[in-house]
Structure 1
Amino acid sequence: MTSPYLIRRERFIAAPASAIFEVLATPALHSVIDGSGTVTGEQPNGPSRLSKGAKFGMDMKIGAPYKILNTVVEFEEDSLIAWRHFSRHVWRYTLEQNDGGTTVTEEWDATDVPWKPILKVLGFTRKHPASIERTLEKLDEYVTKR
């Protein structure tokens, strides 16, 4: 059974997992690859490179500008990175190196959010699939310099 609160997309990128992971683990590049148009800050507050437990703030805009503080909750060098903020939904990237490149899976996981219906009413479950696909496309373009 599929859930509107777990949205997953994948893309094959013709680059090594280490190069892709480096972009994902560098918060200053998140605005460059963001396909939603909501990440606005190029100078995030926090470490220059993420690790398990790292906290980093981002400038965001959905209607009005705001700041959000994220915590890295999953981290395996070159294969898995995930962060969440106060509302408990998780942005997760899984990388699987293959011959000639890497399959990158991006997930928006809101299964543990207590107010899930509000996310649906606000349109997040409807908008995120296309935003994730654009993020993966932009990540591909950035890493392969196309």
Structure 2
Amino acid sequence: MNSPYLISRERFVPASPESVFDLLARPAMHSVIDGSGTVRDAHPHGPARLAPGATFGMDMKMGVPYKIRNTVTEFQEGHRIAWRHMGGHIWRYLLEPADGGTLVTEQWDARGVRHRVMYRIMGVTRRHPASLEQTLEKLADYFAAR
């Protein structure tokens, strides 16, 4: 399904799916790999490692500082993790083993959001492709440096 409310990018990461998943499941690492420049808190509010149904908060900044709360909605150890933002959109990571590492797909999914047209009006759907690409680049660089 082609939709401006499902933005998806993928990249090879030189690490095992288990290693990539472990990093994604630790909210304290999200500020290290964030390509949007909005995640500010290296000490998130919630569990040290995510699990199905877990909730966690982050300190953010997009113009002005704010706090965000997320709930883990998809969790398949080593393969898939996603969390829903309070606004209803979902951040999802899909991991596939690849020769010498992992093919990581990051998705921003607002297809189920009632007032999703506001994301287009606010320019969110135009900014997210570059943010996803930068996040995946930071993720790959993190593991390449190890």
TM-score (norm 2): 0.97
Number of residues of Structure 1 aligned to a counterpart in Structure 2: 146
Deviation at 1:144, TM superposition (A): 2.1
Written as runs of structure 1 = structure 2, the 5 A alignment for 1:95-106 is: 95-106=95-106
What amino acid is the match of 1:124?
V
SS of the counterpart of 1:127? helix
Q: Aligned-pair RMSD on alpha carbons?
A: 1.0
1:121 is matched with: 121
| Structure 1 residues without counterparts, runs of 5 or longer | none
Structure 2: distance between partners of 1:16 and 1:132 = 20
Written as runs of structure 1 = structure 2, the 5 A alignment for 1:76-115 is: 76-115=76-115
Structure 2: distance between partners of 1:37 and 1:85 = 17
Q: How far does the alpha carbon of each residue in 1:3-50 deviate from its partner, in whole angstroms, 9 at most, with x for none? A: 110000000112111111111000000000000000001100000000
Deviation at 1:83, TM superposition (A): 0.1
Structure 1: distance between partners of 2:86 and 2:134 = 25
Structure 1: distance between partners of 2:64 and 2:49 = 27
Written as runs of structure 1 = structure 2, the 5 A alignment for 1:1-146 is: 2-145=2-145
Deviation at 1:98, TM superposition (A): 1.8
What amino acid is the match of 1:122?
M
Structure 2: distance between partners of 1:19 and 1:128 = 25
Structure 2: distance between partners of 1:143 and 1:19 = 9
